[in-house]
Structure 1
Amino acid sequence: MPSYQQPSLEAGLAALKQGNYYAAITQLVPIANSKNQSNTCLQAQVGLVMAYARTGEITKAITLCDYLIRSTNPQVQEWAQRALEHLNKVQKRHKKTRTLENGFVAFDNSLATPLVSTTTRQQKEGIPEKNTPNPDIDIPNTTATEPVSIYWRHARRAKVWQPLRKYNSILSRLLALGTFIAIFWVLWGLISLLMALITQILEKLPYVNPLPLLYTNPASLILFLLLVLLGLSPWLLDWLLAKFYGQQPLSKEILYSHSREVLRVTQRACQLRHWPVPRLQILPMAAPIMLTYGNLPCTARIVVSQGLLEKLSDDEIATIYALALGQIGRLDFLVMSLALLVTLPVYQLYQQASTWGNKSDKEIWRWTATALSSLSYGIWCLLAGTTLLNSRFRLDSSDRYAAEITGNPNGLIRALLKIAIGIADDIKKQEHTSWQLESLNIVAPVSHQQSLCLGSIAGYLPWESFLMWENSNPYRQWFTVNNSHPLMGDRIQRISQIAHHWHLETELHLTIPESFPVKPQSFLLQIAPWLGIPLGFVLAGMFWLIWQTSYTFHLVNLQWIYDDWSFMTGFMMIGFSIGTVMRINAFFPEIKPLALQADDQLPQLLTNPFVLPVDSISVRFVGKLLGRRGISNCLSQDLILQSSTGLVKLHHVPLWGLSVTPQELIGRQIIVTGWLRRGATPWIDIQTLETQNGKTINSPHPIWSTVLAVIAQAWGAYIMLTAQSVGG
């Protein structure tokens, strides 16, 4: 069962009364589109008019009033006519500024029964709840999902502001040190494995003796090489980015033509820190992106893409450069430059192997390229994974610095959201995630994965409604473990707190619900497989204590427990298996045709702040399949559905031997049936992919989960039995 509250008219009206307009919209939209509760539906529509007007969605409010005028209820008709007159006046009066914050004129309180009791005249509107005719109102889906121009409040910046409290950098230094150690150990493990493999091959060959070097510990050599790379990282990255990404110097004149404020901000910040101005570079990319690298402030580089300069306004570009300046001179700046230098060559190997394999006509070379591409991509993911914690937490301090040096936290919020929009637009135009976006993701200001839904539904849904999950779900941080960037909702919330500290109106009005009806049992079910591992360890400890007590009293002698502690691993594997089995039915419930949601409901399905990924929503979406083609997508790592309302990530489990693979359907219209999940990155677990000509691809998610549980169970049992036989 879902662990969240169903949309409620009472909850929506209560949120409207308290001024939580975006929470009210989230609750009222599903009810307003209902056709079987006419009286309740009518009240929800009136509440939506109020909420839309308060949040600046005046076009939606006017559209909804046009439908309410057709109501068979005369009181509702009269109310809607007066409301429409006021809304049209407000729209004309604020056409240039597009600001409705103080311009929404109160409606007259002349209806019979008040809909919502409020303390202000502006919120007093009524609609009879009893003995009223059932209105026959059919509001099309376009009232909720039709794209409109994106509304920006353009909240002002600070003219005079106080410095923020000094940021505690101890945690960031520890994370940077931990990242360096993680990179070292991953490289040591990979190189040791390669040396052992080469040694075994040479030992089996006749007349060949392995080199003595292969028997040595490579730790000292790896540490030395990493220190050398740290010292040479600025110049090596200059060469890599120029060679494979087309990086070029960015002149101050060109930068000044896009943003006059950037040079002032950069010079002022560098003067305060007694730094030279960093070298400015540009990438010929349409997607907006920024990155910094170097090892010292005097060798720092700030790189932006052409798309960032074109899509952001003057003050927004300045905030992104300030964000870049906030990353320079820190220990994590040095370590992230090293991580970028280590990961880029591996990613280039993946890219070149995929390109070579796609061009090859011989099957043997295609299989060789597929293996090399998959292996290099896996190594790249492993190396990039060492930076996840550091990448997430370092943006907190750089956001603070960008807001403080510019006095423009609202400009930074707009810049981050526009970057997400630009990335989503680039993915739609290219019909796949570009090599540049993925390979530079760990140092980008906004992740390409979090930009998919966030950037593509802009205009279909208020920002606050989408971000409510990301700044209010009590378990949200657990789902960022494999993310390279913090949740955008949390990030904007922190920036908004800076604006509040300076007594500024915020660009977004993020609200947090007063109650969190997420049941702990649902979260425990969500993490059941991983929870089974420590529980297995605890059970193994109890087992050990029981048999030790029995041995002390000469009851039973199980010497294998003392001789081989691998039985602990067996218990943990069995615990993981039991947890996986417990979650399968809830994670993959039966898909009922009558309960399937269509793609035009995607924005509304993402607004509930209380769902967890285990709260599966059965969907049947129609759209275009995007992603990289051929060998570069043999692991199904880049599958995206472009629906009528936005982009959503697709999860598919590859199965060898299929006559048709998802890569072959890229660029075509498809029907996706599966389970929509709301996490740090919303995604759909595919059940089937269907084409217009009848081809169907099944994705065996539940089957593979069951197989994984069985393997873990058998492996755990084998470990315990082997330990027992050895001990005996």
Structure 2
Amino acid sequence: MGLDRSPDYLIKTGLAALKQKDYERAIATFTQLSQADGVSTNHRLKAQMGLIRTYEAQGANIQAQTLCKSLLNSHSQAIRQWAHDKLKHLETDQPSLKRPNSTPEAPQSSGFVPESSGFIPFNDQTPTVNQTPPSKDSISSPDIQPTLAEDVPSQSLTHSEQTIADSRGLSNQTLNVQPQSTNDLTHQTVGRSSLFHYETLNTKQDLSTIDTGVNQVPKSTPTAASTPQQTSTSTQRPKPQPPKQQQSLHQKQQDSPTHPLASAPPPHGPDTWPQGTRLRALKSLGKVSKGKLWFAQITTIPILFLVIRWSLKTSLIFIRGYLQFLDRILPINIRPAPFFWGNQTWTVLIGLGLLTLAAPWLWALLLRPSEQITHQQLQNYSPEAAQLLRRLCTNRRWKFPTIQLIDSELAVIFSYGWQPRVGQLVVSQGLLDRLQPDELAAIIMYEISHWPKLDWILFSGLGLLLQGCHRVYWFLARHGEHRPILIQWTAGTLATLSYCMFWLLAKIGCSLARIRTPYRDRIATELTGNPNGLVRALAKLSQANTEAIAQQGYTPPLLESLDLMLPVGLEETGTSVQQYAWGAFNPLRHWLSINQAHPPLGDRLYTLGAYGRHWRLKPSLNFAHLTLKNRARILSAHDWQELLSQGGGWSGLIVGLGVAGVMWLIGAIATSLDFPLLDWLYKDRSILIGIPLICAATGQLLRINPFFPEISNTQPKSEAHLTSWQKDPTLIPLSHRPVTIKGTLTGRPALANWLGQEWRLRTPQNCIKLHYTNHFGPLGNIKSLTPWLQQSLQVTGWFRRGHHLWIDIDRLQNDQNQIKIAQHPIWATISSLCPLAYGLWLIFKGG
């Protein structure tokens, strides 16, 4: 159902009807808006809120309660709290009374971090701001927010001083935050949209006083409260939201999930963790060697250059051959230009240089941010973040960074540039809605810690290449559907090739992205003195990513394309310390994450906790009671044996290279000693290729039976065991766990999933990744499972626990008892026999 009027017009119409007590027209208007197709989540929330207020005014409490219950599942804690309060008020059928002496449960944005967090307030000035009592009807969300004056009791805002010592060139000095005057705040409020663009539906007023004029601006003045947060489970403070602007078409179609993220955080998630404590004055953690980081940088850059040059030359060879083919069959003269015959070295060097220099402007064209967040607006979200950024920029003689806001419910933060003066920090509305002020400050300091390092410059350019490849892939995959078969296959082929290029470039940058992360965690901790804030921020971002994937059924394109530049990886969520135990304690955790862009989140949280223990801080996430029985976090002899077995073909390749190197060395010595019996080992170069291939294939063959044991009908476990397996820190992918579970098959659209990039099984507990292959390997995914999308299935396979969780499918069965048998062992055998045969052929051939 479409709309013949704009959503804003309908909101104004509904408000006018509500003012005139024309409840039937108000209900009809808000219902039309809430049920219309193509309406943004923002306007749909406003319509639902309008219905609740209308039903309440009409006395239809049952209908209002029903709508309130649907808001209890919102991803925003502030919205859930408002709905809970409103529902409680409706159930008791009592008017919302203002209580001048009540104390708000949640800390408000006050220009300083609450004392309960361990951070001494910023300055000692004591301004007094006239405020009105709180109202139960006040609400806060990305799009629905109260004027702060109605949510804060009448009290004085007291600020004290904080002395901060920064070992990175920030001298010890006192942070002073000047309180905002009432006039400044009023000026800031004018033009900013509230939850409804108007305050009428956010406050409890006499309906006769409501003015629904188009040019109305809020008359109330936003203020800030200084009540400390008492418990970790208190309600989040309402945060003033930057003005929402219309989301670009690309953002709507690609960046945001197809449905609003409505799943509520788990009851034991990061929102309920204790705040922990923090330093009163910043300290250094000491110096640490950066040799590993520099090695990763100086190896990644030439490898990236060689791969890009090879890709360009390969593409030009195919284009040249096609043009020569046309020249032979067509009567016109088509000869490739000399450009197609060069080695393209300078072409790649100049192109990458220009791409990196133009990155700040090209990123802006790709992302199309809705607006820039000023220093004053940042203070509304996190006074600590604004103060630390200002201080850092002053001491390093940088200008205050440009902060771009993208209108997306995904929790995203990253940065790009090649110098701080042109650097850009990008945040999403979803990130601002999720994090508390100290968490937002910690994650911003983490991102700023990249500036102006070499890896930051490298990823600014590489990120653009990845964005280009991924957007071409997604555009062709989405727009090639429902077209004639020839266009479909052409679009699918080009999309698959583009994704292969994206995957290859991303894997090249994975090692550097993973290695730099611990260094940045350390710097961010020193800049804030709050490792617990960073712990909670990382956990919440991980949880947000997992919720987005579960809601959409596959990884949102924006998250996948930015994986190398995001603070956390995908699918690493946990609600308790036990679920992070694998990443914290498994001895093989780093080896099993070698192809990932981020280290295990559990390992990062454990290290941040160690910083806190070094400073004698109370932790938000305590690993103290978790240990591996008779095992350490480092590798033992048994762990090395498991690693070699897990490596399979890679272990065999390393052994083969060693054997071939020894044989070649023996041949070289024999040649120098004029010993003809063995000098052929030096002259026959086929050994250097054939032996590694044979050993790699042998290692892969030896791993097949342990990796894919026979599954009996009575052996597989049910879904109830998945949670306990997730918490088991001893498991590795080789520790197979046969399992049979039921759920709904989800995955990427057909043309975007030709290589089986992402199949998932959605269950009530989680959305676990599936690996499926048949005799044709990855190409077997072109049409095999696509007809079963969104169907209820029973999956039998092998549960794997590595950096991520997944299930290797053995067989699938739908409700019509149709069965598909996967062929993982057979494909693994075929892929092993091919290099084995080729290696033997090279050795017998000689050379």
Q: State if a TM-score over 0.5 links the two structures.
A: yes
Map residues 242-253 of structure 1 onto 2, 5 A cutoff: 242=368, 246=369, 248-253=371-376
Partner of 1:177: 298
Residue 349 (structure 2) aligned to one of 201, 223, 241: 223
CA contact (8 A) 2:359 2:460 kept: yes
Gaps of 5+ in 1: 1-94, 100-145
C-alpha distance in 1 between matches for 2:547 and 2:753: 21
SS at match of 2:739: strand
SS at match of 1:386: helix
SS at match of 2:798: strand
User: CA shift at 1:709, angstroms?
Assistant: 1.3
User: CA shift at 1:179, angstroms?
Assistant: 2.6
Partner of 1:130: none
1:131-158 Cα offsets, whole Å, 9 max, x none, are xxxxxxxxxxxxxxx9644341221222
- The AA in structure 1 aligned to 2:314 is L
The structure-2 alpha-carbon separation of the partners of 1:364 and 1:330, relative to structure 1 and needing over 3 Å to count, comes to: same
Answering whether residue 319 of structure 2 is matched by residue 193 of structure 1, we say no
Q: Percent of counterpart pairs with the same letter?
A: 29
Partner of 2:598: 485
User: CA shift at 1:256, angstroms?
Assistant: 3.3
1:329-355 Cα offsets, whole Å, 9 max, x none, are 111111110111121111111011101
C-alpha distance in 1 between matches for 2:336 and 2:527: 59
Alpha-carbon RMSD across the aligned residues, in angstroms, is 2.7
C-alpha distance in 2 between matches for 1:550 and 1:334: 50
CA contact (8 A) 1:600 1:645 kept: no
Residue 763 (structure 2) aligned to one of 628, 632, 643: 643
C-alpha distance in 2 between matches for 1:412 and 1:336: 22
- The AA in structure 1 aligned to 2:628 is P
C-alpha distance in 2 between matches for 1:552 and 1:156: 69
Residue 97 (structure 1) aligned to one of 231, 245, 256: 231
Partner of 2:177: none
CA contact (8 A) 1:354 1:632 kept: yes
SS at match of 2:578: helix
C-alpha distance in 2 between matches for 1:647 and 1:639: 10
Number of residue pairs matched by the alignment: 571
Answering whether residue 521 of structure 2 is matched by residue 399 of structure 1, we say yes
C-alpha distance in 2 between matches for 1:573 and 1:265: 55
The structure-2 alpha-carbon separation of the partners of 1:665 and 1:342, relative to structure 1 and needing over 3 Å to count, comes to: same
CA contact (8 A) 2:771 2:807 kept: yes
CA contact (8 A) 2:667 2:683 kept: no
Answering whether residue 814 of structure 2 is matched by residue 691 of structure 1, we say yes
The structure-2 alpha-carbon separation of the partners of 1:381 and 1:643, relative to structure 1 and needing over 3 Å to count, comes to: same
C-alpha distance in 2 between matches for 1:565 and 1:430: 52
SS at match of 2:809: strand
Answering whether residue 291 of structure 2 is matched by residue 166 of structure 1, we say no
Partner of 1:237: 363
User: CA shift at 1:439, angstroms?
Assistant: 0.6
Partner of 1:268: 391
SS at match of 1:387: helix
CA contact (8 A) 1:432 1:638 kept: yes
Map residues 332-343 of structure 1 onto 2, 5 A cutoff: 332-343=455-466
User: CA shift at 1:98, angstroms?
Assistant: 6.5
C-alpha distance in 1 between matches for 2:505 and 2:783: 32
1:235-261 Cα offsets, whole Å, 9 max, x none, are 11111111xxx5532344543333232
Task: Please give the TM-score of this superposition, normalised by the length of structure 2.
Answer: 0.64
C-alpha distance in 2 between matches for 1:548 and 1:403: 54
User: CA shift at 1:365, angstroms?
Assistant: 1.1
Partner of 1:718: 841
Partner of 1:445: 567
Answering whether residue 650 of structure 2 is matched by residue 527 of structure 1, we say no
CA contact (8 A) 1:431 1:667 kept: no
User: CA shift at 1:312, angstroms?
Assistant: 1.1
Using CA pairs below 8 Å that are at least 6 residues apart, which structure has the higher relative contact order?
1
C-alpha distance in 1 between matches for 2:388 and 2:646: 46
- The AA in structure 2 aligned to 1:97 is T
C-alpha distance in 1 between matches for 2:689 and 2:792: 47
SS at match of 2:831: helix
- The AA in structure 2 aligned to 1:356 is H
C-alpha distance in 2 between matches for 1:713 and 1:631: 33
C-alpha distance in 2 between matches for 1:663 and 1:578: 34
SS at match of 2:811: strand
1:449-506 Cα offsets, whole Å, 9 max, x none, are x33xx25xx3xxxx22122221222122111111001111111122112211221011
User: CA shift at 1:683, angstroms?
Assistant: 1.4
CA contact (8 A) 2:750 2:782 kept: no
C-alpha distance in 2 between matches for 1:258 and 1:331: 30
Answering whether residue 587 of structure 2 is matched by residue 474 of structure 1, we say yes
Map residues 407-556 of structure 1 onto 2, 5 A cutoff: 407-448=529-570, 450-451=571-572, 454-455=573-574, 458=575, 463-510=576-623, 511-513=626-628, 515-516=630-631, 518-541=638-661
C-alpha distance in 1 between matches for 2:392 and 2:439: 16
SS at match of 2:481: helix
User: CA shift at 1:642, angstroms?
Assistant: 2.2
- The AA in structure 1 aligned to 2:785 is P
Partner of 1:673: 796
C-alpha distance in 2 between matches for 1:187 and 1:98: 49
The structure-2 alpha-carbon separation of the partners of 1:277 and 1:575, relative to structure 1 and needing over 3 Å to count, comes to: same
Answering whether residue 405 of structure 2 is matched by residue 282 of structure 1, we say yes
Map residues 71-86 of structure 1 onto 2, 5 A cutoff: none
Answering whether residue 430 of structure 2 is matched by residue 307 of structure 1, we say yes
Residue 579 (structure 1) aligned to one of 688, 699, 706: 699
Partner of 1:214: 340
Answering whether residue 154 of structure 2 is matched by residue 154 of structure 1, we say no
- The AA in structure 1 aligned to 2:534 is L
The structure-2 alpha-carbon separation of the partners of 1:283 and 1:659, relative to structure 1 and needing over 3 Å to count, comes to: closer
C-alpha distance in 2 between matches for 1:715 and 1:639: 33
C-alpha distance in 1 between matches for 2:673 and 2:522: 64
CA contact (8 A) 1:628 1:663 kept: no
- The AA in structure 1 aligned to 2:503 is C
CA contact (8 A) 1:660 1:697 kept: no
C-alpha distance in 1 between matches for 2:322 and 2:468: 26
SS at match of 1:180: helix
User: CA shift at 1:579, angstroms?
Assistant: 0.6
